[in-house]
Amino acid sequence: MVKYVGDEEEQKGLQMRGLNLMDKVLVVRGARITFSIWDVGGESRFRDHVPIACKDAAAILIMFDLTSRCTLNNAIDWYQRARKWNKTALPILIGTKFDDFVQLPLEMQWMIINQARAYARVMKATLFFSSATHNINVNKIFKFITAKLFNLPWTIERNLTIGEPTIDF
């Protein structure tokens, strides 16, 4: 969230225990658009924040750590909780820490990729692998969301090549 919105805007965001909110203003085809981005902490004790974060959302981003399979396994639960409050938002499944993921053994990478793709299909979600540290796919995720929400052309290609950040839709 900070990588996309920008460090200078971080100070303006609302931060609570397990819930952060930041705004990003864009101009798309002459129209000023504000994304209000809500970040619910990944620990189970913060699940009570899901209704407020998801209720009126245009997109729901479910994030997991590519180096921790248990976070991927938890993604389905987070998705189901979000869908209980919002059945129409655009679902996006995001694997984070891609820079660390590529250091894992190839067999483990394949296992995680296949499981993430299967989960994304179940969620009817677009899948992105990203790294905030190296700004991999961070902007592309939000460009994709903007294109989908406003019926704009989308020029990014699917990428399923092992060792490169996955984009699957």
Q: What is the pLDDT of residues 29-83, one digit of tens each?
A: 888 988 887 777 655 555 565 666 678 888 988 989 999 988 898 889 889 988 9
| 114: enclosing H helix or E strand | helix 106-123
Q: What is the pLDDT of residues 116-153, one digit of tens each?
A: 999 999 999 999 999 988 888 888 888 899 999 889 88
DSSP letter (8 states) at residue 163: T
Domain that holds residue 89: 2-168
* Predicted pLDDT of residue 23: 78
Query: Residue 17: what pLDDT?
Result: 58
Asked if residue 10 has pLDDT above 50, the reply is: no
pLDDT at 44: 57
pLDDT band of residue 156 (cuts 50, 70, 90) is: confident
- Residue 103's pLDDT band (cuts 50, 70, 90): very high
CA terminus-to-terminus distance, the chain: 22
Closest alpha carbon to 10 in 39, 45, 44 = 39
Q: Choose among 47, 35, 51: nearest CA to 143.
A: 35
Q: How is the beta sheet containing 31-40 ordered, strand by strand?
A: 14-16, 19-28, 31-40
The model's pTM = 0.81
- DSSP structure string for 52-111: HHHTT-SEEEEEEETT-HHHHHHHHHHHHHHHHH-SSSEEEEEEE-HHHHTTS-HHHHHH
The total number of structural domains in the chain stands at 1
Antiparallel, parallel or unpaired: β 59-65 and 90-96: parallel
Q: Domain holding 108: CATH number? A: 3.40.50.300
Across 82-99, average pLDDT: 92
Confidence of residue 11 (pLDDT cuts 50, 70, 90): very low
